[in-house]
Amino acid sequence: MTSQRKQKWLWVDSDAGVDDAVALCAALKLQKEWGYRCKGISTSFGNTSAENVNVNVRKVMASCVKDGAGECPIHAGAVGGLKGETADASYFHGKDGLGDAGLEDPVEMALDERGAVEGLIGVGEEAKREGAELVVVTIGPLTNLAQAMMEGGGGGWMGGVERLVVMGGCGNAHGNATRVAEFNVKADVTAAAHVFEHWRGQMTVVSWDLCCGNPIPWRAFHEAVSKEHHEGEVGRFLKAICRDIYSSEKDADKRSGEGAVICDFLAVACAIDRAVVRGREMVNVEVETGGGITEGMTVVDWGCYDGVEGREKSVEWVKELDMEKAIEMLGATVRGGVGGVECNTREV
């Protein structure tokens, strides 16, 4: 029997703060080593303004290309939520969203003429035609994805998505945007609610509380990112933007005193390599949109009976990570001279 080779594709939707930048570098740099192709990056408001996000993704792309990674299209997306919401996390990510490191904008890297919604619909349809294994990972507000679901001609493009990975929500009601809500969900609760209710395929959630419980130990983080000398451009880039953002003193406040909590990187790692997910539970998730102090809360049904029958458990909620593998992927991201897109298939 002749083995069939199936292409692996990745699409990242990002609001390009500092942790997004680490994740995007991984998405671009690990293509050859992990055997997939990054088909596109779509941008969204969130950690900083949409204008800053577009610039920040260009900066990430430029550093990765200098290290030998293949370039992919950048699709500009939502400037605000479905109901005009705005968000801002400059208190953590800096005014420019990348730690105010003062890095030059590579203006020669033009944005794709297609916007984020058109790009998402297009890559889903292309994956269906080509029989590719497409994974979409969202590491910002869910606005672009929700709009694509609403406008995508009946949603047939979703059939081209093998798996959706969402960095968002919290299963223990310990929020970071409010007392009970996680930032990406709270930034556009209408969009988040639509995605959780209407997504048709496999959805994997990498939650805020999971990431807080799985920091990159400081020793491993310093060895990978903040060491004195880097051979590669990506290592130097990440060191510059992380210098004032990720430190044992700063993270000890609201994140973790044990290491760097880099949520978006962990979500992308799970999207790239399924083996990073070691434990999971199928659950039902609803998003509170009614206002008040619980708006944006991801209400997870852990199996407690509350009189409602037939609630579908369609969301894979990640409960345990292989952090050794994730740390290995971070190290591979900052190594110089790797990247490219030559190896983009796997045997199935």
Q: What is the pLDDT of residues 168-187, one digit of tens each?
A: 999 999 999 999 999 999 99
pLDDT at 340: 54
Average pLDDT of span 293-319: 87
Helices and strands (H, E) in the chain, number of each type: 14, 12
Residues 6+ apart with CB under 8 A from 2: none
- What is the band of 312 on the pLDDT scale with cuts at 50, 70, 90? confident
Task: Provide the β-strand partners of residue 286.
Answer: 299
State the sign of the Cα–Cα–Cα–Cα dihedral 214, 90, 98, 222.
Answer: negative
Average pLDDT of span 53-57: 97
pLDDT digits (tens, 9 = 90+) for 95-140: 999 999 999 999 888 999 999 999 999 999 999 999 999 999 999 9
Please tell me which residue, 68 or 256, carries the higher pLDDT value: 68
SS3 assignment for 77-118: CCCCCCCCCCCCCHHHHCCCCCCCCCCCCCCCCCCCCCCHHH
341 pLDDT exceeds 60? no
Please tell me which residue, 346 or 109, carries the higher pLDDT value: 109
344 pLDDT exceeds 50? no
Q: Please count the structural domains in the chain.
A: 1
Report the alpha-carbon distance of residue 29 to residue 332 in Å, rounded. 8
| CATH code of residue 158 | 3.90.245.10
Report the alpha-carbon distance of residue 5 to residue 3 in Å, rounded. 6
- Give the residue ranges of DSSP H helices in 37-82: 50-66
pLDDT at 107: 85
Contact 146, 190 (CB under 8 A): yes
- What is the band of 3 on the pLDDT scale with cuts at 50, 70, 90? low
Report the alpha-carbon distance of residue 167 to residue 301 in Å, rounded. 18
Residue pointed to by tokens 């930032």: 183
Mean predicted lDDT score pLDDT of the chain: 90
254 pLDDT exceeds 70? no
pLDDT at 256: 55
- Minimum mean pLDDT range among 25-39, 274-288, 296-310: 296-310
Report the alpha-carbon distance of residue 200 to residue 43 in Å, rounded. 23
Average pLDDT of span 301-327: 87
pLDDT digits (tens, 9 = 90+) for 211-228: 999 999 999 999 999 777
263 pLDDT exceeds 70? yes
Residue 97 falls in which region: left (phi positive, over 0), alpha (psi -120 to 50) or beta: left
pLDDT at 347: 33
Proportion of the chain above pLDDT 90, given as a percent: 77
Tokens standing for 184?
Answer: 């990406």
Report the alpha-carbon distance of residue 43 to residue 190 in Å, rounded. 18
For residue 244, what are the CA distances in angstroms to 18, 93, 115? Answer: 10, 9, 32
Residues 6+ apart with CB under 8 A from 275: 322, 325
Report the alpha-carbon distance of residue 253 to residue 251 in Å, rounded. 5
- Give the residue ranges of DSSP H helices in the chain: 18-29, 31-34, 50-66, 90-93, 116-130, 143-151, 183-187, 189-198, 208-212, 218-221, 233-242, 248-254, 263-272, 323-334
Average pLDDT of span 61-82: 95
Average pLDDT of span 291-295: 94
252 pLDDT exceeds 60? no
4 pLDDT exceeds 70? no
68 pLDDT exceeds 70? yes
E strands, 288-341, are 298-301, 315-321
Segments forming the whole domain that contains residue 153: 5-347
61 pLDDT exceeds 50? yes
Average pLDDT of span 24-48: 97
159 pLDDT exceeds 60? yes
- Minimum mean pLDDT range among 35-39, 173-177, 309-313: 309-313
Cα 207 to the chain's mean position, in Å? Answer: 11
pLDDT at 18: 95
State the sign of the Cα–Cα–Cα–Cα dihedral 279, 284, 266, 115.
Answer: positive
Report the alpha-carbon distance of residue 12 to residue 194 in Å, rounded. 19
- What is the band of 6 on the pLDDT scale with cuts at 50, 70, 90? confident
What is the CB neighbour count within 10 angstroms for residue 238?
26
